Structure formats: C-alpha cells, structure tokens
Amino acid sequence: MPGPNGAAHRRRLVVIGNGMTGARTVEEIVDRGGAEQFEITVLGDEPYGNYNRISLPNVLAASEDPEGIFLNPLDWYAENGVTLHAGVPVTGIDRFARVVFDAGGAVHQFDVLIIATGSSAYIPPIDGVRDAQGELKPGVFAFRSLRDCEQMIAWAEEAEHAAVIGGGLLGLETARGLLGRGLEVDVVHRADRVMNVQLDTEPARILEQALQELGLRVHLDHSTTALLGEQRVRGLRFDDGAELACDMVVISAGIRPNVELAARAGLMVERGIVVGDTLEVEDEDGIYAVGECAQHRGELYGLVAPLWEQATVLAERLTGRNPDADYHGSKLATKLKVSGVELATMGQIAPEHPDDEVVRFCEPRRGVYKSVIVRDGKLVGATLLGDLSKVSFLMQAFDRGTVLPEERVSLLFDLGGPPAAVSVAELADDTQVCNCNGVSKGAIRTCVESGVRTARGVMEKTRAGTGCGSCKGQVAEVVEWAAGGALEYDPAADYYVPSIPMTKPALMEAVRERDIRSVSDLVAAFADGAGEDPRAKPALASLMRMVWGADYDDERDARFINDRVHANIQHDGTFSVIPRISGGVTNSDQLRKLADVADRFEVPMIKITGGQRIDLLGVKKEDLPEVWRELGMPSGHAYAKTFRTVKTCVGTDFCRFGLGDSTTLGIRIEERFKGLESPAKLKLAVAGCPRNCSEAMVKDVGFVAVEGARWEMYIGGAAGAHVRKGDVLCTLDTADEAVLMAGRFMQYYREHAKWLERTYRFVERIGVEEIRAVVVEDRDGKAARLDAAIQASIDAYVDPWLEADRPATPSQFASVVGST
C-alpha cells in the first residue's frame, strides 16, 4: 500500500549475519533490483563489512593484506541502499511478532527474515582450555574471524613454538602460516591421517610427507586431554600421558553451526536450522536460513560454492526473478592448495557400495595420487593430489553425470588424446592461445576476471578466435576454466550467426517461407535492427546458396574476398591458385599446362599440397582470369567453405595390399560433389585397405575398403589444429551406396551445422547415434529428401573460374584503379 508520499511501500527484509553467505545473499538480491522491493537491514556480529573468510590463513601467512580481503567494504552497503549495523549482535527473534532484538536495544520489524549466522569454531572439552573467567587461556586461539587472526599474529611475534590441534584443511593452512612467521609448529590430529574427511589413506600419506618436508611435525592418533600452564599456555598433554611443550595453541577441530538464536526462537533445529528446497525454515512463513547454519536434506555445507548457490536461489525467489527457484543440494567438488600441494576432491573419497569401481594411481616419490570411483558408469568420486591435469575433465563428468569411457585409465591420464583435452589450467599464463591476434591465456583470464562471462564476449573484447578461428575451441576452454565453470548462458551460442536470433534450421525455413532471395533482404527481415554485421555476410551468403542454389540475387559484396576472386588470399595480397586434380590423380597434359603457366606468369612458388594437388603461389589478383584461361582446368575450391578434396591411396590399381578400388571411388566422389557449398570445409579421403595410407580415418568423411570389397564409412575426423579419429557411421556393400551415403550425410551436415562448425564438432554435438538413426536408418523418413536436395545442389554447380570470361562485377580482379 502506498506510503504518505505516494511511493509504494517496500517490504522489510532483515538479515541476521553479515558473513560470506549473508552478504552474498544481500548482494544477489540487490543485483536483481531487490533494493527497490525491500528495505534491507543487515545485522552483523563483527564490526566490519563482509570479508573473505577463506583468505584468513593467507593473512596469517602474510601473503595477503587484511585490507585486501574485503568483499563488501562498509561503503558498499550505503552505496546500495542497505542499512548495516556492524558489530551489533542479535539477541533474540520473536517469530510471532516478527521482530528481531539486538544487543543495542533496538527492535527490527521484518516481513521477511533471513538467518545466516554461520558457524563457530568447535572447542573440544579439553582440561585447562579455558581460564577461570571462561575465556580461552592466554596463548590459546580459535581461528574463525579476522579478530582471531590479528590476535594470533600479535601473539606469534613473541612465541617460539606453536601446536595446532586439528589436522584438517584449516589446521594445515594455519600451521603453514605460523611456520612462515618463524615458529616451530607441531600438528596434532585425533584421526589416523590428515584431512581424513577429504582424503583416503594413500593420498593422506603423500600429503603428510609433503608437510614434513616443509618442516611441520605431524602427530596422528593423538587426542589432547589437557592444556598445561596457568597464566599462559605452556604445553599439551595427550591421552597416552606424553606431553608437548609449546607457547601457542590454535584449535581447529571443526566448526559447529550457530543455531542457538533460532533454537531459542522456537524454529526447527537439528544439527542445523532445518530448511526445505525453498530455503524457508520448516513450518515457517517468510523466515529463511542459508549458509553454514542451514541444514538441507540432512546436509550441512562448509564449502563456499554450495553456499553461494543457496544465496542465488534465495535471491531469485525473493525478488520474483524466478519464484520457483529451488535448491536441490550441491555436489561437492573442490580444488584447493594445502601447504603448496594442489588437491582436488569430489564426491566420495572411498568406495561405499559393493559394486563401486575404483581406479587408482599412486606415485609417492613425486607426490602424486589420483583415484576415481565409478558407479553405474558414472563418476561418484575422485581425488587428485599433486597432478591436476585431468581436473577440468573430471569435474565436468562429475557435475553432468556423463557416461564415462570404458577404458577407465583415460580418466586419470591423457593417452594420445587430442592436446586440447590436456589441462588448460596447466598452461603458463603467457602461452599464446590465439596466434592471429597474439592473445595469451593470461589476457583471456584477465578479461573473464573483469566480468565478461561468455566465450563470445571474451572473443569480442580480446579479439581471440576472431582471426582464422582455429583456436576458438581452446579459447572457449580457457574462458570456462577462468570462470571456474560459472559461465553465463549465452543464447546466441545456438544461433547460426550471432546478429540474427535464429537457429539455422529456423532461418532456412523462414527464408523459404518468405521467399527471401538476397543477403541484404535477409538482414533487413531478421536482424532486428542490428544492421548488416559484415562478419555474418559470408555465412548468410552460404545459406542463400544452400537454399536456392544459383537462383538468388548473388550480391557480391556479401562474399569474402576468396569467394569474390575464387582464390586464397595470401599475406602479401597475392593469391594461391589450385586447380582441380580429382582424387589426386593427374596426367602429363595437366602437368605440362601447370609448368607452362608457372613459367609464363613467373609464379614464385609451386607447391604440392596436403590435398594431393598442385598450388601456384604468388599470383597477382589482376592475373587470375588469364591464369585460369591458360590452365583450362576447373577450380579446386581450395579457398572456400565448400567440399574440398578426396585424397586417395593407390588401392587395387597397383597396390599389393589393396582390397578396394580407392582411386576410382575417390575420383567419382570428388567429381560429383566438387565445389558444393557447406558450413565449413569438407575434406575427404578413400583408403584401399585398413592400412589407411590416405588417412581416411581423420577426415570429415572417409571410406576405408575392408574384406569383401565393402566400404567402412567414417565421419567427424580431423587432423589439423584439432585431431580427432572419425566415428564409424556404417559399412556399405558397394561403391554406389558409398557415394549415396556420403551425399546424404553431407546434406544433413549442410542443413544443420552452424557456420564454420567443422564435422568434428558437429558430430560430437549431435552424436553419431543420432546421425546414424536419421541418415542411415532413416528413422525420420528424411533420406529421400536429403538425397534430392544434394542432387539439386549438384545440378546447380557452375565452375567459378568461368568468370574469367564473364566477370561478375566490373573491377572484380582489379588491384588498383586510377592514375599515378
């Protein structure tokens, strides 16, 4: 209801707790316009803004400054319209009157309450841990807050020998910090191995070895029964009666959720404050709990990622962005450094089920341990210590529940796989990822850290991947790694071109329906006023050719230079001319013509290409038509996004191992499909036997002759910047069938692939099973139409080099016009 000045009445949101979860939740709410919907009041125990608690061991180790760890300094609250009462503990909640009482005597009315009281350090009931006043004995510290940290640092100036009770992550990090301040340090742990919650025995031993090498002494299976000393601590006594002298003790024996406030208020509390998937406290209305104090589906979370997930879900709900947002619990995957040793853990640390598969590798001398636990073909746990090269792959598999490769060893190691799969995280910061534009991994990381969270955004800002484009896959991986997996969903990733918000099939459909016959008409109709993005024009021109064949208004200004002059532009502005030599089989006439033309035009370089033909390099643009006329050979299309070549090996013509006539099939395929428009280049090969001398298994489409003169068909192979072995699509009985199936698959690819998406990506994206079902088994009844469509494209094919005699535009081949 409107207030006195007519403004809409904002609901009152009170947040108890200004720690990492509380402040993050408020931040997420503010980011979603929550400050307009709510009057937000935050009550925090500690007298500061919100700081990164995880960085406290670094402050102790003097590797970070206390000022530098603040996530939300005090000004942030004022700047965002949030009222913060810092250093004012809350003393009570009345859930019926809907008020909160604070230690200063104030009463805060709420419509919505969020409890984010976090946890406190657990102090075990050790004799002598507290003095007569109930305070911790002088020299004894818990390590939870910035104040604890400051007090420890002050005490450590005078101390010489510290004991850390608790050998978990915090204990080990604290020990390392104190060691760095010049103290002798002993770590005392009740369990039989350090980090017993995250690590199984083998990896824990490796870690213990590393700690010892650092200079820490570790005492396992030791329970502390008493702290000695009156005015100040002077030693520990263990359960076996032994004693350890020391003048400083840090207790890091775990944390307990702060639930007292909630319990006294009558809210449902078990180990933590019980909440449902909506993060509302059980049986309450408008009272929520998030963070370490909350118990969800029986779990308490102490890692930051689940807590921030909870914060986001709650913000989505409360601001109405997504009123149905639910929290379903988090899969725990963490990557951290403990005492300089890299460690990643996810899920289970040991097998729990009789059928759990465990694959383990242990190399203690190098400090390396890797293990994975697999159940029903899915990853349910993994531990990596000392060598994190597979961490991105495993975290993805863990997160998405992907079905794992049968050869389990490939979960731990890269065995001759594509180099791109080898950890992007391991690359040095100055590794050049994009060669065309000189963009390093560090530059990409900086861009992501500055807030750009989509691959496309990073590419636009840094120019990485916008040159030849062959590094795009790696750029995307670096972006994903730098964003810690938290990429923004980019709907434009599914569009055929980013400037038109439609997928390729939708665009093709629309073009046919509305009879759009030119790129400029297409842009006018669909680009939503975004204008004619010049980089999209060749993609749209390709789409036009695919849909209409030659029957469209071929605006030459929409073509890339290579397609305007039908030759490949080189770095100095000259061109490469490669005439068609089908199947890599030539004759003396062609060779003589090539030699004569090379001489006549003083061609600087004659090269044999990987596609098994001959390249005349350094031809000037204005000489191109004359060169083509003299050669009298059709274009080899070595410069365009089209069907390119079919490499062959000799086969039954002469080879003593030949099982099939590879040259005949190769020439036939090349002659039939030459020059056909496609979303990216298509490179083929035919091999006369499985020895595969023409490399057919790493081609977009490849045929390999097998026993019985049958042809095994491979798709999605590559051997360029990306290396991938093709998938076997099917085996054909005759050469006729091979030709038909090649055409049908290529047509399917032409209609569904994104611009510049090679088959090696396309096949992975769609999946070979799906392609087989549609193309080979004709599940959807599309086969006949695909066959007819590619035939239509073939019928419309014209050799572009005939433009030598009939140029398409007046100065098509002119370099410079005008007077000197």
Residue from 506, 510, 561, 730 in contact with other proteins (CB under 8 A): 561
The Cα 350–Cα 39 span in angstroms is 48
Residue from 101, 361, 413, 560 in contact with other proteins (CB under 8 A): 560
Site for other proteins in 267-286 (CB under 8 A): none
- Altogether, the residues listed in the chain come to a count of 820
Tell the smallest beta-carbon distance from residue 526 to other proteins (Å): 14
Helix locations, 138-224, DSSP H: 146-158, 169-180, 201-214
The verdict on 436 binding other proteins (CB under 8 A) reads yes
Nearest to 745 by CA among 727, 733, 719: 727
The Cα 474–Cα 342 span in angstroms is 23
Contact at 8 Å (CB) between 679 and 542? yes
Residue from 33, 323, 573, 604 in contact with other proteins (CB under 8 A): 573
DSSP state of 776: I
Residue from 537, 566, 674, 699 in contact with other proteins (CB under 8 A): 537
Residue from 514, 535, 691, 765 in contact with other proteins (CB under 8 A): 535
The Cα 32–Cα 82 span in angstroms is 14
The verdict on 817 binding other proteins (CB under 8 A) reads yes
The verdict on 820 binding other proteins (CB under 8 A) reads yes
C-alpha atoms less than 13 angstroms from C-alpha of 668 in its C-beta half-sphere: 15
Cα of 70 vs its chain's centroid, Å = 27
Residue from 571, 781, 795, 810 in contact with other proteins (CB under 8 A): 571
Nearest to 679 by CA among 640, 723, 718: 640
Tell the smallest beta-carbon distance from residue 716 to other proteins (Å): 26
Which residue, 383 or 462, has its beta carbon nearer to other proteins? Answer: 462
The verdict on 534 binding other proteins (CB under 8 A) reads yes
Residue from 531, 632, 767, 807 in contact with other proteins (CB under 8 A): 531
AA letter at 427? L
Helix locations, 320-385, DSSP H: none
User: For residue 27, what are its two tokens?
Assistant: 């931040």
The verdict on 776 binding other proteins (CB under 8 A) reads no
**What are the beta bridge partners of residue 497?**
500
Residue from 420, 569, 768, 796 in contact with other proteins (CB under 8 A): 569
Tell the smallest beta-carbon distance from residue 634 to other proteins (Å): 23
The verdict on 331 binding other proteins (CB under 8 A) reads no
Which residue, 537 or 674, has its beta carbon nearer to other proteins? Answer: 537
The verdict on 532 binding other proteins (CB under 8 A) reads yes
Tell the smallest beta-carbon distance from residue 606 to other proteins (Å): 20
Number of residues that bind other proteins (CB under 8 A): 35
The verdict on 445 binding other proteins (CB under 8 A) reads no
Quick one: which segment of 138-146, 461-469, 654-662, 735-743 binds other proteins (CB under 8 A)?
Answer: 461-469
Residue from 209, 330, 432, 437 in contact with other proteins (CB under 8 A): 437
The verdict on 111 binding other proteins (CB under 8 A) reads no
User: For residue 337, what are its two tokens?
Assistant: 């450094």
The verdict on 816 binding other proteins (CB under 8 A) reads yes
Which residue, 467 or 501, has its beta carbon nearer to other proteins? Answer: 467
Tell the smallest beta-carbon distance from residue 461 to other proteins (Å): 7
End-to-end CA distance of the chain: 79
The verdict on 131 binding other proteins (CB under 8 A) reads no
Contacts of 810 (CB under 8 A, 6+ apart): none
Q: What angle do CA 134, 140, 145 make, to 5 degrees?
A: 90
Contacts of 492 (CB under 8 A, 6+ apart): 456, 498, 501
Cα Rg of the chain, angstroms? 34
Tell the smallest beta-carbon distance from residue 474 to other proteins (Å): 17
Tell the smallest beta-carbon distance from residue 555 to other proteins (Å): 8
AA letter at 186? D
Torsion over CA: 288, 294, 295, 297 (sign)? positive
Tell the smallest beta-carbon distance from residue 560 to other proteins (Å): 6
Which residue, 395 or 500, has its beta carbon nearer to other proteins? Answer: 500
Tell the smallest beta-carbon distance from residue 600 to other proteins (Å): 24
Which residue, 485 or 531, has its beta carbon nearer to other proteins? Answer: 531
Which residue, 370 or 754, has its beta carbon nearer to other proteins? Answer: 754
Tell me the backbone φ, ψ of residue 245, rounded to 5 degrees: -80, 140
Which residue, 106 or 524, has its beta carbon nearer to other proteins? Answer: 524
The verdict on 485 binding other proteins (CB under 8 A) reads no
The Cα 370–Cα 391 span in angstroms is 10
CA dist 8 → 4, 39, 80, 507, 539 (Å) = 9, 12, 19, 45, 50
Nearest to 393 by CA among 429, 417, 365: 417
Contact at 8 Å (CB) between 125 and 27? no
Which residue, 397 or 536, has its beta carbon nearer to other proteins? Answer: 536
Contact at 8 Å (CB) between 697 and 724? no
Q: By rule CB under 8 A, what string of x and - marks binding of each residue 210-239 to other proteins?
A: ------------------------------
- Please identify which residue in the block is written with the tokens 């098509």: 812
Q: By rule CB under 8 A, what string of x and - marks binding of each residue 494-523 to other proteins?
A: --------------------------x---
Which residue, 248 or 536, has its beta carbon nearer to other proteins? Answer: 536
Tell the smallest beta-carbon distance from residue 534 to other proteins (Å): 4
The verdict on 468 binding other proteins (CB under 8 A) reads yes
Nearest to 161 by CA among 189, 131, 182, 130: 182
Nearest to 119 by CA among 175, 67, 53: 53
Contacting positions for other proteins (CB under 8 A): 436-437, 461-463, 466-468, 520, 530-538, 555, 557-558, 560-562, 564, 569, 571-573, 815-820
